[in-house]
């Protein structure tokens, strides 16, 4: 499929590739670059809003590395990124450590210096079982974004994952560096190795978000959010946060 005329590409402000699931039909052509298959030759330098539907489409190390390179080098003006992808690996079939390739995607996101809104969903993240600090590394990149970006909105969906208490804290410490953040939505249902002992310390990083006005969390039913809710929404605090926490 040929790319659109250059004039149209340069004026492009919203690129929606959610049809990727139907056009690629799940299986990518190994002989063609990921960039060409996703964007069909379109120039990406003027894109400001990008919606990537990659669920059940990419899962190989090289795919993640190519995606990280696209995000980190081709999308200089990106302001909004909405990405839905899998963290599903067949580690024994891959020649390289799969978690390092996933981190390439996170590091690509960390280079988006004009990003204001990030909505990222991970599917099958429970498959990340033997590789430490995958989500902690994501937290580091979010902290990096917070150093030079004015990000208003962050949404993270990571159901059915293997993140443990220590790694969850590293993720939230990274989020705490996003000082301009106004709205945070995070879905942690099915966090098999995350429990109350790990949840309670998250109050500290969240209280560092001085501009936060809205917090939405989806948790498992065995997590009690009473302490966190009280700490963030207290009327006598300098800036109470609207807290919406759903358990179950």
List pLDDT tens digits, range 202-218. Answer: 999 999 999 999 999 99
Class of residue 217 by CB neighbours under 10 A (exposed 0-12, middle 13-18, buried 19+)? buried
Number of domains making up the chain: 1
In a domain, 242, yes or no: yes
In a domain, 90, yes or no: yes
pLDDT of residue 15: 43
In a domain, 104, yes or no: yes
Dist CA 105 CA 189 (whole Å): 23
In a domain, 227, yes or no: yes
In a domain, 20, yes or no: yes
For residue 213, give the DSSP letter.
Answer: -
Instruction: Write the DSSP string, 88-153.
Output: ---GGG-SS-HHHHHHHHHHHHTT-TT--EEEEEEESGGG--SSTTHHHHHHHHHHHHHHH----E
Expressed as residue numbers, the domain containing 127 is 6-247
pLDDT of residue 100: 56
pLDDT above 60 (res 231): yes
Helices 134-148 + 98-109 axis angle, to 10: 10
In a domain, 72, yes or no: yes
User: Are 108 and 75 within 8 A, CB to CB?
Assistant: no
Q: How confident is the model at residue 91 (pLDDT cuts 50, 70, 90)?
A: very low
List pLDDT tens digits, range 124-149. Answer: 666 555 555 778 888 999 998 888 77
pLDDT of residue 26: 53
In a domain, 109, yes or no: yes
pLDDT of residue 2: 45
Dist CA 177 CA 110 (whole Å): 13
CATH of the domain at 39: 3.80.10.10
pLDDT of residue 14: 45
Dist CA 4 CA 131 (whole Å): 41
In a domain, 1, yes or no: no
């Amino acid at each position: 499929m040929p790319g659109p005329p250059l004039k149209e590409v340069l004026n492009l402000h919203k690129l929606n590739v959610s049809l990727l699931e139907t056009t690629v039909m799940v299986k990518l052509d190994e002989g063609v670059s990921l960039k060409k298959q996703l964007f069909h030759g379109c120039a990406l330098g003027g894109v400001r809003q990008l919606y990537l539907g990659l669920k059940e489409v990419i899962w190989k190390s090289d795919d993640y590395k190519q995606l990280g390179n696209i995000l980190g080098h081709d999308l200089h003006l990106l302001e909004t990124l909405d990405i839905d992808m899998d963290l599903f690996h067949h580690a024994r079939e891959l020649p390289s450590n799969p978690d390092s390739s996933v981190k390439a995607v996170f590091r690509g996101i960390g280079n988006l210096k004009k990003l204001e809104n990030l909505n990222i969903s991970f599917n099958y993240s429970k498959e990340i079982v033997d590789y430490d600090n995958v989500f902690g590394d994501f937290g580091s990149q979010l902290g990096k974004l917070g150093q030079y970006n004015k990000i208003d909105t962050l949404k993270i969906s990571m159901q059915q994952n293997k993140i443990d208490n220590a790694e969850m804290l590293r993720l939230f410490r990274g989020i705490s560096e996003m000082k301009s953040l106004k709205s945070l939505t995070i879905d942690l249902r099915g966090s098999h190795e995350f429990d109350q002992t790990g949840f309670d310390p998250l109050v500290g990083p969240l209280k560092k978000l001085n501009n936060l006005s809205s917090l939405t969390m989806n948790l498992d039913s065995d997590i009690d959010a009473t302490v966190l809710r009280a700490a963030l929404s207290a009327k006598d605090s300098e800036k109470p946060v609207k807290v919406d926490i759903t358990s179950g």
